[in-house]
Amino acid sequence: DQQVKQNSPSLSVQEGRISILNCDYTNSMFDYFLWYKKYPAEGPTFLISISSIKDKNEDGRFTVFLNKSAKHLSLHIVPSQPGDSAVYFCAASFSGGSNYKLTFGKGTLLTVNP
């Protein structure tokens, strides 16, 4: 039962354009969401997060949008740069009980073409 889904295995965009990566979740208990970027042979690097009390969080070129009613979040990268080419993982957690784990999607490979 996959609780966090990234339905697009890959995405290709031109340098300077917007990249939009999507993520859906099924567990309504999730109230904290994160995006990580991963290069080959390295561990995931934290990018940006959002709690369920917000619908938008922005950090430089990266903006995450959360639509709780649709159980959907997206990561916007503007403008996209070739160095952004990596696998992007969406992750979720909830604050209740003794849950301290992150549940990850399977990732989306972003390729930014010069």
Partner 1 sequence: KAGVTQTPRYLIKTRGQQVTLSCSPISGHRSVSWYQQTPGQGLQFLFEYFSETQRNKGNFPGRFSGRQFSNSRSEMNVSTLELGDSALYLCASGQGGSYNEQFFGPGTRLTVL
CB of 80 to partner 1, least distance (A): 23
Query: Is 99 among the residues that bind partner 1 (CB under 8 A)?
Result: yes
CB of 114 to partner 1, least distance (A): 27
Query: Is 93 among the residues that bind partner 1 (CB under 8 A)?
Result: yes
Among 25, 30, 36, 88, binds partner 1 (CB under 8 A): 36
Total of residues contacting partner 1 (CB under 8 A): 26
In the chain, what's the furthest Cα-to-Cα distance?
47
Among 45, 67, 81, 113, binds partner 1 (CB under 8 A): 45
- Write the DSSP assignment of the chain as a string of letters: --SEE---SEEEEETTS-EEEEEEE--TT--EEEEEEE-TTS--EEEEEEETT-SEEEETTEEEEEETTTTEEEEEESS--GGG-EEEEEEEE--STT----EE---EEEEEE-
Nearer to partner 1, 25 or 89 (CB): 89
Nearer to partner 1, 17 or 54 (CB): 54
22 - beta bridge partners? Answer: 74
Query: Is 43 among the residues that bind partner 1 (CB under 8 A)?
Result: yes
